[in-house]
Each structure stands twice: as structure tokens, then as C-alpha cells.
Amino acid sequence: MSEMNTAPGGDGAAVTSVPVSDSAPTAIRDIANAIAARRNKEEAPAEAPQVAAEPEPDSAPADNAAPAEEATSEAPTETNEPAEELPPIEPPRSWTKEEKEEFRTYPREAQEKIARREQDRETALRRGQNETAEQRKETETLKAQLNEALRQYQEATNSALQAVRQATAGEFSDIRTPEDINKLATEDPLRFTRYQAHLMNVAQIEQANKQAQEQQRQQYQSQWSDWSSKEDAKFLERAPEMANKETAQKIADRSVDLLKSLGFSEQDLAKSWNGEASVSLRDHRIQQLILKAAKYDDAQTSAPKKVAKAPIPQVQRPGAARPQGADRDIQIKNLETKLEKSGSLKDAVALRLARASR
């Protein structure tokens, strides 16, 4: 155990005396090191008792537990980023140019409402068109089935009518006049009864045959009316000048004259126009008509698109000789003027011949 002694000099400073044993080091350096180590041990603070750390729970924290927020000295700053620019809304396709320009001036909310309405309208329109197309397809199918049924019925009545007529010509071939009928009734009542039943059967079959023919005629007339209306509309699309009544009447009169010159009669034209007669392309009159049309197209193709104005001939003094070919130039000029006014195939051919002989 160490002993505390007061240092000589009277300042009261305590000096620690280190006991010396036989085995203690005698070197001054060892003594100094031992004193320093003892002093450092006495001046070191007592260590705090260690507390065992609590083990972490195996389960994850509850979902509703709020995460710990780190305290910061500064409040978070908000960044005002520019809003993403939306693409422009296109105006409805069915609108006019002026309406589309006005649409672009509307607020975006109004544009969106109009676009939705137009889209709904187009969807409904397409749905209606599809339904109409389906109904038209079903109608065409029903028409085809009706036509086939009428055709089969007509064939059946024709066959039955032919059979009863053959029976009339066979079994009752000797009955031709009213006197033969009276004689049959007097001499052979049983055969006369069969003959009456046969006549009733013939009358019924003939009536059914007439009804089938009338039904076929009405069905054909209805289909012809629909087809001719569609064809007339297509023709007006390709020849809009025919919408003018005066122009259409003039061309119709010239067309009738042309067809008559080819050999068609008034009756032929009326039946063909009303669908009561059919004309084949092999008909010699139709072949002539096609030939004339081909020649006209050839003349129109060969003729210049725009006839250039011929230069005005120089005025010559009386008695002076005219240049060679002046008369031919005047003739060609006159034919060109005439062709511009008439558009006739004959004038086009004459002009072509005149140019070729120049």
C-alpha cells in the first residue's frame, strides 16, 4: 500500500511513494515509467456500465407505423415545374374550313366536349351504316331465295300444265267440239264425269301458272326499278351536264335518231328502256354503235387539245398573186371553228383529212 508524504518545502503537494521490493526494478527509467502508469490509472474516469442491446424484433414494423423523419434545419422547398403541354385537338373532319378555323379559337374544355360529341356521332353513324349494310345483305338474300322459289314454282306449274294438256290430247282427244261433249254426256256419263274433273284440274293448274307468272313479273319490275335508279344516279355522276333538262332533252333526241339510224324501232327502244327486252352486245346494231363510239374517241384523241389560232393573213393588193396553200389554210381554219362549235365526229374527220392533205 502506498503512503502519502508531504514534500519538503511546505507547499503541501502530495507525493506518491512507491514501495520497493527486492524484485522491483532499480533503474531510474523503470521507476519513472511505473509512476506515470500509476498516475494515469488514477486519473482515468470510471467507465460507464455497459447495457446489453435489445435484440431487433424478427417481424417487420407495422404497416401503419410512420417512418422516422430526420430533423432538418431547413424546410423543404417546392419546385414549380412547367405543366406538360397537351397535344392540340383536331376539329371534326365533317366541318367546313371556316368552322374548323373557329374551332381552334375555342377553349380546350369546349374543344374536348365537341370532339367527344363528334366521336359519338361518328360511332353511331358507322354503327348505323353497318346495320344498314347487314340489312341490305339480308334483303338481297331473301330476294334471291324468293326468286328461286318463284322460279321453281313456275317450273312446277308449267310441268303440271303440260301433263294435263297431254292427257287431254290422249284420253280425250276425240272431244273437240260442243257436239262431242253433248254426245259424251248422253252416251257415256261416267267418261263425261271424268272429262269434267279433268277440265277443272286443267283450269286450276292454268290459274296457278298465271299467278306464278304475275308474281315473277312484279318481282322483276321491282328489282328493275331499283337497278335502273342506281344506274341513272351513276350516269349523272359521270355526265353532270345531263342534269340540265334542256341539254338532256337535246342529247336524248339526237341519241334516238342515232339508234333509229342503226335499225332500232320505237318499240325496240321502249321495251329496252323499260327492261321489257334485252339486247346483246352481239346484236349488229349494238356493234355499229360501239364502232361509232370507238371512232369518235379516236378522233377526239387525235385532235389537238386546244386549237391554236391561225395567224391573220396579210392583206394583199388587188391583183396580187395569193401565196401557195392559202386556200387550204382558210379551209382548215373554218373546219377548226366548226368543230369547236359542233363537236361532231364528221367535222373531226374532215379536219383530219384536210390537215393530212396540206
Residue-wise pLDDT tens digits, 119-129: 898 889 888 88
pLDDT at 73: 47
**Digit-coded pLDDT (tens) for 303-347:** 665 555 555 655 555 555 555 566 777 887 887 888 777 767 677
pLDDT at 43: 56
pLDDT at 53: 47
Residue whose C-alpha cell is 412547367? 82
pLDDT at 26: 46
Secondary structure of residue 90 in the 3-state scheme: coil
DSSP string, 68-88: PPPP-SSPPPP--PPPPPPPP
Query: Within 13 Å of residue 217, how many CA atoms lie on the same side as its CB?
Result: 9
Distance CA 12, CA 5 (A): 9
CA distances from 255 to 243, 252, 264 (A): 16, 5, 11
pLDDT at 62: 45
pLDDT at 323: 55
pLDDT at 23: 46
pLDDT tens sequence for the chain (358 residues):
444 444 444 444 444 444 444 444 445 566 556 666 766 666 555 454 444 444 454 444 444 444 444 444 455 555 555 556 778 888 988 889 999 899 889 998 888 899 999 889 888 988 888 888 888 888 888 878 888 888 888 888 888 888 888 888 888 888 888 898 899 899 999 999 998 998 899 899 889 889 888 888 888 888 888 888 899 999 989 889 888 988 888 888 888 888 888 898 988 888 888 888 888 888 888 888 888 888 888 887 776 655 555 556 555 555 555 555 667 778 878 878 887 777 676 777 677 777 766 6
pLDDT at 133: 87
- pTM reported for the whole predicted model: 0.41
**Beta carbons of 358 and 325 less than 8 angstroms apart:** yes
Cα 264 to chain center, whole Å? 43
pLDDT at 325: 60
216 burial (CB, 10 Å; 0-12 / 13-18 / 19+) is middle
DSSP string, 159-203: HHHHHHHHHHHHTTTT--SHHHHHHHHHH-HHHHHHHHHHHHHHH
- Positive/negative CA dihedral, 54, 60, 61, 67: positive
